Amino acid sequence: MGKKKIRLGVIGAGSFSNSHLLGIKYAGNAEAVAICDIMEEKARKQAEKFGISDYYTDYKELLKRDDIDAVTLPLPDQLHAQVTVDALRAGKHVLCEKPMALNLDDCRQMIKAARETGKQLMIGQIGRYTPGFLMAKKMVDDGVIGELFFVESEYAHDYSKIGGEGGWRITPERHPVIGGGCHAVDLLRMIAGDPTEVFAYANGKVLTDWPVNDCTIAVMKFPNNVTGKVLTSIGCKRKYTMRTVIYGSKGTIIVDNTTPTLTLFKEEFTQMDEFKNLHQQAVELKIPVAINNHNFEAEVRDFCECILEGKPVLTDGVEGASTVAVCLAIVESEQKEEKIKLEYNF
């Protein structure tokens, strides 16, 4: 008998459903058994491409099936909350795409539904599965770079040609910091904990027909007197990157999601002078890492393993909501030109 696989429905058959369906195909403990999109042609095409027998245009029909354990939701951000709550209440575990939702009331509804139904709710903060970021996190936790004092990350991604089906990315509610900057914010939360306050400046000089600023720089305070910054730019003309620099008292890490090496600067006793005294020198090590920007395979494997073994997921509703809270505070700061203090009560 083969190993048990989680039977999944995928709701949304747009661009990122390809990552979901490929990841599910190779995860080993997952199987896509149904797909849904309001655009029938898209659902049918993805069903054919990935050998899925059933497709739907109404997700509530898919949710009625008793033989589906869980759903993944590559849907426009505005729909995450409603579909997650409906799916949880229909008895399905949910792997919802990032950002969890566009406001904290929606996040709270989602957390409530997960608590009341006892089903798993995981938010797809995919950076938690990027090999280079995981290596950086381990180095920090192992004390390789000493005491953290400054962390920075960026989400620099040219959006001029990716509005999403029907242009759902171009709304004031879906500010770029919430929609994309959430990756960089979540990564810094993983490394340095929950920020306690933020301040942001912004401008909109590139995507001038968008209703929001396309560039935001936020500075923030983390626990243990660590400072940090996050840049979000969706108008930039460059290759997509989430370049991240982590500064500690004994070393510095530079890592991103699109470069095959992690750079570690570290003070080492490497030089002896003519009087046989050892001198500290910063060495620069380039450590190979797999580039796996959208590692949905690892993400969905972990989700299914947690369901199969009854373990808590890594990025549950509270984690997802905490990242949304930081992003919303950055947007509020940019609008009010004030420092915003953060509280996390979910």
Using alpha carbons, select from 111, 83, 130 the residue that is nearest to residue 313.
Answer: 111
91 lies in the binding site for ligand NAD (CB under 6 A): no
Place of tokens 């903060």: 125
| Helix (H), strand (E) at residue 72 | strand 70-73
Indicate whether 159 belongs to the interface with ligand NAD (CB under 6 A). no
Indicate which single residue of 7, 14, 170, 259 sits in contact with ligand NAD (rule: CB under 6 A): 14
Instruction: Please say whether the beta carbons of 78 and 171 come within 8 A.
Output: yes
Q: Does 124 bind ligand NAD (CB under 6 A)?
A: yes
In the complex, least distance from residue 282 CB atom to ligand NAD, rounded to whole angstroms? 34
List the one residue out of 213, 205, 172, 193 whose CA is nearest residue 326: 193
DSSP E strand stretches across 223-288: 226-233, 244-248, 251-255, 261-272, 278-288
* Cβ proximity to ligand NAD, 42 vs 266, nearer residue: 42
Let me know how many helices (H) and strands (E) the chain has, helices first. Answer: 10, 15
Among 126, 246, 307, 329, binds ligand NAD (CB under 6 A): 126
Distance CA 237, CA 260 (A): 21
Is 13 a binding residue for ligand NAD by CB under 6 A? The answer is: yes
Q: Does 59 bind ligand NAD (CB under 6 A)?
A: yes
Kindly indicate which of the ranges 8-16, 64-72, 209-217, 249-257 contains the residues binding ligand NAD, using the contact rule CB under 6 A: 8-16
Footprint (CB under 6 A) of ligand NAD, residues 160-199: 164-165, 179
Contact status: 11 vs ligand NAD (CB under 6 A): yes
Nearby residues of 106 by Cβ (< 8 Å), 6 or more positions away: 80, 81, 100
Nearer to ligand NAD, 42 or 119 (CB): 42
Query: Binding residues for ligand NAD, per CB under 6 A?
Result: 11-17, 36-39, 42, 59, 74-77, 79, 97-98, 124, 126, 164-165, 179, 294
